[in-house]
């Protein structure tokens, strides 16, 4: 995915030019430079939550 055609709402210039902090933030996010959570980690966190809920339920009963 590219941000070449996006126009910044702050500086009214193409985001790809990175003229203001807002542009640079969007550009970094779209190009995957910023921190992102891999889907596998999200799935693992969900499973851990489910497991924890099951354990809690078992302890409460």
Q: Tell me if 3 contacts Zn ion by CB under 5 A.
A: no
Distance CA(28)–CA(34), nearest Å, equals 6
The stretches of 1-61 forming alpha helices (DSSP H) are 21-30, 39-60
* Selected binder of Zn ion within 22, 41, 46, 55 (CB under 5 A): 22
Interacting residue with Zn ion among 6, 14, 20, 30 (CB under 5 A): 20
> Of these, 1, 6, 7, 8, which contacts Zn ion (CB under 5 A)?
8
Asked if residue 23 lies in contact with residue 30, where contact means CB atoms within 8 angstroms, the answer is: no
Binding residues among 23-52 for Zn ion as defined by CB under 5 A: 23
Q: Which is nearer to Zn ion, 10 or 29 (CB)?
A: 10
> How many residues comprise the chain?
61
């Amino acid at each position: 995915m590219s941000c070449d055609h996006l126009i910044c709402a702050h500086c009214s210039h193409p985001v790809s030019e990175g003229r203001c902090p807002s542009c640079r933030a969007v550009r970094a996010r779209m190009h995957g430079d910023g921190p992102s959570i891999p889907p596998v980690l999200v799935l693992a966190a969900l499973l851990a939550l489910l497991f924890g809920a099951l354990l809690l339920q078992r302890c409460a009963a």
